[in-house]
Structure 1
Amino acid sequence: MRSYTKTVLLLSIFILGLMISANAQEESEIVDVSSYQDEAQKIIDAALADEEAFQKLTYFVDKYGHRLSGSETLENSIDWILKEMQEQPFDNVTSQKVMVPHWVRDEESATLVSPYKRDLPMLGLGGSVGTLENGVEAEVLVVENFKDLKKKAEQAKGKIIVYNVPFTSYGETVQYRYRGAVEAAKVGAVASLIRSVTPFSMQTPHTGNSAYEEGIKKIPQAAITVEHAKLLHRLQKMGKSIKIHLSMDAKILPDAPSRNIIAEIKGSEKPEEIVVLGGHIDAWDVGQGAMDDAGGCFAAWEAVMLMKELGLKPKRTIRVVMWTNEENGLRGATAYRDMVKENGNLKNHVLAIESDGGVFEPRGFGFGGTDKGYEIVSKIGTLLVPIGADTVNRGGGGADIGPIMREGVPGMGLLVDHSRYFWYHHTAADTIDKLDEEEYQKCIATMAIMAYVAADLPQRIPFGN
């Protein structure tokens, strides 16, 4: 009996020891960012005092302007960035070769010829086929959505379909840009025009990528302004016969070589573990791509250089990536994913941060990852209270980090005041004057603090979804 009691007692002590050990381990994993408050404030102060950052972004977009995949301008802009980075104190600067789509807009126009003549501001949609040499002239059928198109299918044959679909959200409305031509071709239309995907317009057409479907005839597709989509709808409701002449010299050339830009500072203790941040360096062939997405790329670049200037040495490696071909293919993003999978570095990616929503007043981040990961980044977010960027929501990421996030890498997308973003998105109005210097500086500080602390904490953000 005594032997049994002794065994039970020893077993109880053993179990108690395991519990104490587990609790101690759990306590040791509690996230404490209080020691980073001074460094976070130094980053904020330095970012807000740096006037050269906005000047560099301004010089870049003024000099290189639009940078569509396959263009000489894009490749020249990449050359310039690589040269600048190689003169800075990065530990490694390189590029990754990527073959990208090469779509060329060339000359294009849309003209209302009946019931009266009027030029219609327009932009062909990325990937669209061109018209015949003399263009396409046909009667117009205005529809309000795909359901309305199916309802009017018998009237659509031989017509130019105009989708007058109001903006609700980008995710919902963009389907008309992406699939509009496919659905129009299914009912025998000869071309597809969409109301630009925007909540606000000043006669500004918005471009963007579109798609075709195997087995469905490819017809030209373009965007017209909100104002003219509404006009055409009014004319149709009045019973007028509407006719448009559409001319597009768009063509698809063979894939062209481009590059992802990669630069990093090595971690002091765990250099094999990586925090990656960046955006996409390509832009549509209108405007300057200042907001979408040179600002995001340069904010990430400046964030890392800020750490170097302040003498901050994170335990893990911080890597800046400027992905190519986000706008019309995501070839850069998939090539980066394939590269890190092949070299075995995928699971060493501790966190991926993307800025591709404009560099307006920062609000914080959206996070995609585990509950424990969310707890860690939320704690880091508290360091951003001084600039009002401390919000950390569940659910977030970005198009370019999407491929590695789907493999389990935790990801974050920079959240900003996006109230004006879709006013300028994919238009000739995406120019440097739409950005505010102080807001841009705050975006740099926001990305720098999140990246630095995530790279320096004792705890690693857990891999997985």
Structure 2
Amino acid sequence: MKLIPTAHNKTLMNLLCSCVLFSAVAGANALSEQQQAQMEQLKATSLNSDLSYQLIESLTTEVGPRLMGSEGDKKAVQWAVNKMKALGFDKVWTEEVTGTLWHRGQAEAQIIAPYPQKLVAIALGGSVGTGEQGITAEIAHFASLDELKAAPDNSLAGKIAFISKRMDRHIDGHGYGETVGARVNGASIAAQKGASAIIIRSIGTDNNRIAHTGVMRYQDGIAKVPAAAVSNPDADMLVNQLKREQAVKLYLKLTPSTDEKVKARSANVIGEITGSEFPEQIVAIGAHLDSWDVGTGALDDGMGVGIVMAAAHHIKALANRPKRTVRVILFAAEEVGLLGAQQYMIDHKDEIANHVIGAEWDFGTGGIYQMTTGMGPQALSATEELGKVLAPLGVKFIKENNAKAQSDMGMLSAAGMPSVNFAPDGSRYFDYHHTENDTLDKIEPEGLKQATAVYTLFSYFAANSAIDFSK
């Protein structure tokens, strides 16, 4: 369209030029000098504050384990609502999430022959029980899930399948993805091969005589068999006995239960710092509120809960509120299958496009060492300004631009939300993951402060810059 230079259109052209100029300036310098000064203030505040630790201490001490639908889970929801209100969030509300209630019961495992030994075992989340008599059967050993898959159907009749593959330790935790399939899918594959039960080496990197739980899944149309994990030292013992080339017999008793008629109820807890200029535009930061029923859920994911709540509070404490809304989402029922995230996508289907960018914390024990983005190419260039602010904190800006948000918020990423993935040091995370050993003392206070500062600075930057992260 060509504009004729009338007085009215001259004004219009001047306005258009101003918009173009503003966009160019915003791309080159996403924040004003005053906002950059506030970023430095936020950095100092968050690095010297122990608020995130106080929140984790409160959650683990006053609530503790919080499996979906349990009394601890109910307490956690109320705890989160109360804390958000006390921290000055503008809006706080809950959204119901429902699922199936599973009770762990007890676990007992013993080698009966050739060399009797007691084993430390734990039922996998969602497993059926063995019955009060338990199961006594010969072990059929497989070095990996792939080996079990390769076994002929019905070849394991009357046996207990055992997968011994060990998880490798890596700073980014990628060994988890290489081994967790045995936990999630092993039971149905073992049943297809005729096994009466399955045990796996714990999906963890430690050498403690503590077993790791975690969710497993049954496939429709295949018999449900009991599933358990044994500690790493006990998996080693089993392998050593098998090396003697004698049949190894195991006794296994699991007493979990599920009442399909009982509906477990929980809730996503959501709090906002309302934007001053664009309240409908949402910068989302999240974590999951639930945990397994072992340990106190300090790392998984109390750490994330403390980080994102503290980040929003630090921003609210500034003299000027952010232009966009900062929304903290504490998801329910992540451990049992991302049920809270699924419900969030349903409840907010009409405003998914308003989520301008998001990030979640659900991994690691220490500080963040790199950030990766998933956004439009123009936004990537402008976001380098944030990278420069985070660099002195030891955070490297990786420009691969293919990131998805962690865990629950990955569904929003898949739906098109621009995302940032902050990579923390996870070298020791899987020593404690899903065990009785996930407790407050595993939190690294200095790493926690750095991570809180990173999430605070990211949230402030995203909420105040003029960047369209989708472009």
Indicate whether the TM-score tops 0.5. Answer: yes
Shift of 1:155: 5.3
3-state SS of paired residue (2:321): coil
Superposition RMSD on alpha carbons, in Å? 2.1
1:12 is aligned to: none
Contact kept? 1:337, 1:404, Cα under 8 Å? yes
2:9 is aligned to: none
Equivalent residue for 1:27, pick from 5, 24, 37:
24
Shift of 1:53: 3.5
Contact kept? 1:61, 1:288, Cα under 8 Å? yes
Distance in structure 2 (CA, Å) of the matches to 1:122 and 1:31: 57
1:158 is aligned to: 158
2:256 corresponds to 1:250: yes
Distance in structure 1 (CA, Å) of the matches to 2:119 and 2:155: 23
Distance in structure 1 (CA, Å) of the matches to 2:105 and 2:247: 30
**Counterparts of residues 193-342 of structure 1 (less than 5 Å):** 193-253=199-259, 254-341=262-349
3-state SS of paired residue (1:245): strand
Contact kept? 1:206, 1:425, Cα under 8 Å? yes
Higher mean alpha-carbon deviation, 412-421 vs 365-374, is at 365-374
Q: 1:48-89 CA distances to partner (integer Å, 9 max, x unpaired)?
A: 222343133212202221111010111112112212222332
Contact kept? 1:361, 1:416, Cα under 8 Å? yes
Amino acid at match of 1:160: I
User: TM-score, normalising length from structure 1?
Assistant: 0.90
Amino acid at match of 1:440: L
Contact kept? 1:296, 1:358, Cα under 8 Å? no
Amino acid at match of 1:391: F
Equivalent residue for 2:394, pick from 362, 384, 388:
388
Shift of 1:429: 0.9
3-state SS of paired residue (2:407): coil
User: TM-score, normalising length from structure 2?
Assistant: 0.89
Contact kept? 1:235, 1:242, Cα under 8 Å? yes
Shift of 1:312: 4.1
1:434 is aligned to: 442
Q: 1:292-331 CA distances to partner (integer Å, 9 max, x unpaired)?
A: 1011011100001011223242110001110000011211
Shift of 1:201: 2.1
Q: 1:74-109 CA distances to partner (integer Å, 9 max, x unpaired)?
A: 111211221222233211111111112311101221
In structure 2, the CA distance between the partners of 1:173 and 1:336, relative to structure 1 (3 Å rule), is same
Shift of 1:28: 4.1
3-state SS of paired residue (2:348): helix
**Number of matched pairs:** 443
3-state SS of paired residue (2:334): coil
Task: Percent identity, please.
Answer: 33
Distance in structure 1 (CA, Å) of the matches to 2:303 and 2:320: 23
Question: Higher relative contact order at CA 8 Å, sep ≥6: structure 1 or structure 2?
Answer: 2
Q: 1:350-384 CA distances to partner (integer Å, 9 max, x unpaired)?
A: 01110001351112333233333433434312211
In structure 2, the CA distance between the partners of 1:403 and 1:56, relative to structure 1 (3 Å rule), is closer
Amino acid at match of 1:27: A
Distance in structure 2 (CA, Å) of the matches to 1:22 and 1:56: 43
3-state SS of paired residue (1:391): strand
2:409 corresponds to 1:401: yes
Distance in structure 2 (CA, Å) of the matches to 1:460 and 1:91: 25
Shift of 1:21: 10
In structure 2, the CA distance between the partners of 1:359 and 1:448, relative to structure 1 (3 Å rule), is farther
3-state SS of paired residue (2:296): coil
1:3 is aligned to: none
Distance in structure 2 (CA, Å) of the matches to 1:279 and 1:361: 16
Equivalent residue for 1:356, pick from 353, 362, 379:
362
Distance in structure 1 (CA, Å) of the matches to 2:362 and 2:384: 21
3-state SS of paired residue (1:43): helix
3-state SS of paired residue (1:428): coil
Shift of 1:234: 2.1
**Counterparts of residues 124-143 of structure 1 (less than 5 Å):** 124-143=123-142
Amino acid at match of 2:125: G
1:47 is aligned to: 46
Higher mean alpha-carbon deviation, 321-330 vs 307-316, is at 307-316
3-state SS of paired residue (1:401): helix
1:188 is aligned to: 194
Distance in structure 1 (CA, Å) of the matches to 2:57 and 2:142: 41
Amino acid at match of 1:227: P
In structure 2, the CA distance between the partners of 1:265 and 1:146, relative to structure 1 (3 Å rule), is closer
Distance in structure 1 (CA, Å) of the matches to 2:177 and 2:307: 25
In structure 2, the CA distance between the partners of 1:131 and 1:37, relative to structure 1 (3 Å rule), is same
